[in-house]
Homo-oligomer: A and B are copies of this chain.
Amino acid sequence: MKNSDKHEKIIRAAVKVFAKKGFFSARISDIAKAAKVADGTIYLYFNNKFDILISVFDEEIGKFIAQTKKLVDQEENPQRKIEVFALKHLAMAKENKSLAEIIQMELRQSHKLIKEYRKTIFSEYVDIISSIIRQGQTKGIFRKDVKPGIAKRAFFGALDEMTRLWVLSPKPPYDIEDTAKQISNIFLQGINAV
């Protein structure tokens, strides 16, 4: 059996277990059972429990950010870019609920490493938004008095809060596309030049 197989299996199992129980209440033996390996096997692939969590972030979030960037780059119009961003964000939360749940819960811990993580990885993500805003401002489409540094967070926060609703509810109470449209719509009218 190849290395990559086990590593992958453990990561996938960990995503499920962390989502269900949270990092601290998750047992290594839970993850081992879910991955169908022995407890000790996990330590052949990861240094410790925390390392599993970090690996989940490293390997899963990176992919997602890259995809989002690519999609946004394909659009010409800044307004359209904003819409695409919103849609992609919510779609990912729906398709990958466990991961979304972990991001919601664990990426907010006060652990130092997590704090660093949030700063670097998340900056990269929300900066996609601020650069769209700047493009729009240059073109004269968006209001110049909007601060991209604040607006990016406002928009991201709005999407993140909708994601939280998904994660807490057994079923999405709103349709993904409607929601993405409504949120980008409010935001776009909010920052549109008059």
Contact = CB atoms under 8 A, between A and B. Distances in A.
A85 B185 CA distance: 22
Nearest to A109: B22
A144 interface: no
A158 B153 contact: yes
A175 to B, nearest CB: 11
A183 B21 CA distance: 35
A131 to B, nearest CB: 18
Contacts of A171: none
Interface string A164-181: 110010000010000100
Contact of A186 (B22, B24, B101, B151): B151
Contacts of A104: 108
A66 interface: no
Contacts of A119: 168
Interface of A: 19-22, 24-25, 101, 104-105, 108-111, 115, 118-119, 146-147, 149-151, 153-162, 164-165, 168, 174, 179, 182-183, 185-192
